[in-house]
Amino acid sequence: MNHIPKIAVVGPESTGKSTMSDYLAAHYQTIAVPEYAREYCAKLTEPCTWQDEINMFYGQLALEEELLPQANKILICDTTFITVKIWSDEMFGKAPQEVLDELPKHPYDLYLLLNIDLPWQDDPLRNFPTMREHFMDVWHKELDSLNANYVLISGTGDDRYESAIRAIDEFHI
């Protein structure tokens, strides 16, 4: 099988990652890998534990592997397991070693880092409405440390979508 480029849609909470991923998948007539952690956390009855973070890491990897064969030329990923590292660092002071070991082994071809210029939308699974700038800085640092190919996507409405499409088209062609 030919290499299927993986496009990761990432960023702090409430930046429109899921909406953008669905939009891009429809635009490119391909599949979007949903954020495994969202469904996982929705089922939790207690605060997230260290083991939950590890479970979400393995779950995200498995979901991407499962859906990759359904991709049409590119695979859109609604976040990545870098999120597990970022949340673990914030909540527990460090990330699971298996996550750190695997990060460089699972690169994405292009990351779309969604800016925090959209208004905050409350959601029971969102925790840090006042820390979006902090997490934006963290995302830049994490992507830089991986030497990742990424583009900052800003704007609202159609402008935001068009910026993402332009970034993918410029990368992909």
Tell me the pTM: 0.91
Q: Give the pLDDT confidence score for residue 31 in this predicted structure.
A: 96
Which domains are assigned to the chain?
Answer: 6-172 (3.40.50.300)
At a CB cut-off of 8 Å and minimum separation 6, what does 13 contact?
Answer: 123, 126, 127, 128, 129, 132, 135
Q: Give the pLDDT confidence score for residue 122 in this predicted structure.
A: 59
pLDDT digit string, tens, across residues 67-105:
999 999 999 999 898 988 998 998 899 999 989 998 888
